[in-house]
Amino acid sequence: MSDLDAYRSLYIAESRENHEIIVKNLLVLETEASETAIAEIFRAAHSLKGMSASMDFWGMERLCHAMEDVFQEIRNGKLAVSRELMDSLLIASDQIEAMLDDIECGGTGVPQNLDELEHELKRWIGKEKAGETPGPVSPAAERGATPPDDKTTQGPSGAPRYSISVQLKESCDSPNLRAMIILQNLEEVGTIEKVTPDRSTVEDGDFGHRFEVEIASDAGIDALRTIAAATDVLSATVTSVESATPPPPPAPEIRPADGRDRKPVTQPEKAERSREVKNIRVDISRLDSMMNLVEDLVINRGRITEIAREHQIKELDETLNMIGRSVSDLQAMMMDIRMIPLSHIFNRFPRTVRDIANREGKEVEFIVEGGDTELDRSIMDGLNDPLLHLIRNAIDHGIERPDVREAAGKPRKGTLLLSARRDRDNVIITVEDDGQGIDIESVRKKAVEKGLVTPDEARTLSRDEIIDFLFQPGFSTAVEITDISGRGVGLDVVRTTLESLHGKIKVESREGGGTTFELLLPPTMAIVNVMMVRINGQRCAIPIHNVAEVAGLVPGDIHTIGGRETILLRDEVMPLDRLDDMFGCSPATEILVVLQDQNRKRTIAVDEIEGQQEVVIKPLSKVVGTVRGISGVTIPGDGEVVPVLDVTSLIKET
């Protein structure tokens, strides 16, 4: 196995893709009889089994082989699909994921309950009754060898013969490994009579991404085509080869000690073939380090530009224009490299929806749209928990039970939509259900009970202000407590997480008609637009998305309420903060900046507005620690270290 250690990461990546295909199509098969879903599962399980055998992960091979046997029975119409069967298959798929985690960490991927899992799968096709109890496998089986009594792999004389032509994608990372996996899978269903070019050339990878196989097999064209059309295959054609008589048995050959067929390759032939690597896998930490270097380049570009402007050197200006374009292009390229499709987390949720709906006795149609929408990986990492919470709440306390929906004139099956789309410079993710909606009066009553507002104040609140109570810590209108929180519980954590990602959340609800949560996110957090201002002569930066407006500061509009300054601006009373504790007292503040976070506002007084800049925000160092009201620092072109205001924390203090 030491020779294959270099392919472990490739094995993990492709195995996770196959695992995802299995789970997705299992959920499809549970709701409808789909031959396409069965074929997809069969192909993915077969590919995973073949790759595991080639990597000597015999535990994974055994489990996938058992799943393959079950789906062979389903495909042949001998086994009906039921919820209990799907439960068993999904449990096996969960174990596959755990085994992949173990293999990725350097383990062998053999769980202690492997025999039990195999027994459970074989129970569905009656193999246990036939006396085929799972047990320790032989060394030959551990190496992926086929038992001698398996008729599908013997390639008996007189079996139909086929010609298979396989064209791999140019983007295939390891064409030699992919080709050898396909050949090994084909050997399990027949006898390979010829490979063109020969195996040694294929193993060396010098076959130009295309090879042909002649095979004798009883499996049939469809099965052979399924095996050949594996991952990274551009096209796979299977044609029948007419033969009046069975092919003669191959003459005895003298093979090298390693058992491999070899064909001498002349030097000119080697020179004519080139192996070009067009795709590589890069550890994400390297991309993060590269992004930090690009951010430093952006900062230093601004610094050099300031120096050139100060000294007015024409030649330096021309050079800087060229460097500036290159840095901008590099910056844009790095941003694109870090972007990941949302399908990476969206694909995790169909199984969650299925399990919760079954547990709660509800019928839910889960629709996913816009999975190809891309986000920066730093934002993607923090989205899983908020989306999971919103989805769990939608099923548990949003969508009604089938009988309740039917009585209300709704379809028995509820609809849950998870979608994503780009809107100008932002990404919008929507979680929408057609359930009972939010009971506004219940929320209003609960807010009064918790002492958040007085009864008189509660009567004057708008619908949006009442819904905003759902984001208070510990707020819930659920009558009974379950392991899945009620509509609102934990939403404070959802909002806090989104704020840490520079995002926002908006709620719309129609009583009896459902609820929509809309998440507004920036595509990246690395480089942002800020407004540069001065307070008491000191510069600070304010993220543009937190600036609602800029106005003149009129002393006559300032009032003192409850011992603190407020200002009346366009018939709206807002707190006024001069940030004296952060920047000192300024004698000449004439400008008012209105800050906004969600639907809350606050104003600050500033001396001067210098304009907008695109900057890189760096977190405060561990030596400095946490500073109230400051989210990080940036370094503009003049080299000064400028604090960036944390508008969210400032507004929460009001």
Residues marked as catalytic: 46, 68, 393
> In the numeric block, which tokens belong to residue 265?
């390759």
> In the numeric block, which tokens belong to residue 567?
């200002």
- Short-list 490, 380, 492, 491, CA closest to 427: 380
Give the strand order in the sheet containing 642-645. 608-616, 527-535, 538-543, 642-645, 630-634
Q: How many CB atoms lie within 10 A of CB 71?
A: 22
Whether the CB-CB separation of 198 and 261 falls below 8 Å is answered with: yes
| DSSP tag of 400 | P
Strand ranges (E), 332-407: 339-341, 364-369, 374-376
Position 200, amino acid: S
Q: Are strands 414-423 and 364-369 parallel, antiparallel or unpaired?
A: parallel
Tell me how far apart the alpha carbons of residues 297 and 291 are, in angstroms, rounded to a whole number.
10
| Element of type H or E holding 582 | helix 580-583
Q: Counting beta carbons within 10 angstroms of the beta carbon of residue 271, is it exposed (0 to 12), middle (13 to 18) or buried (19 or more)?
A: exposed
Tell me how far apart the alpha carbons of residues 645 and 187 are, in angstroms, rounded to a whole number.
65
Q: How many CB atoms lie within 10 A of CB 68?
A: 17
Tell me how far apart the alpha carbons of residues 427 and 584 are, in angstroms, rounded to a whole number.
38
Whether the CB-CB separation of 192 and 230 falls below 8 Å is answered with: no
> Which residues are within 8 A (CB) of 426 and not within 5 positions of it... i.e. 6 or more apart?
520, 521, 522, 523
Tell me how far apart the alpha carbons of residues 144 and 161 are, in angstroms, rounded to a whole number.
24
- Short-list 25, 44, 74, 20, CA closest to 229: 44
Whether the CB-CB separation of 510 and 612 falls below 8 Å is answered with: no
- Short-list 405, 471, 480, CA closest to 435: 405
> Which residues are within 8 A (CB) of 6 and not within 5 positions of it... i.e. 6 or more apart?
none
The backbone torsions φ and ψ at residue 567, rounded to the nearest 5 degrees and listed phi first, read -135, 140
> In the numeric block, which tokens belong to residue 233?
């295959």
Distance of CA 87 to the CA centre of its chain: 24
Which residue has tokens 């294929």? 202
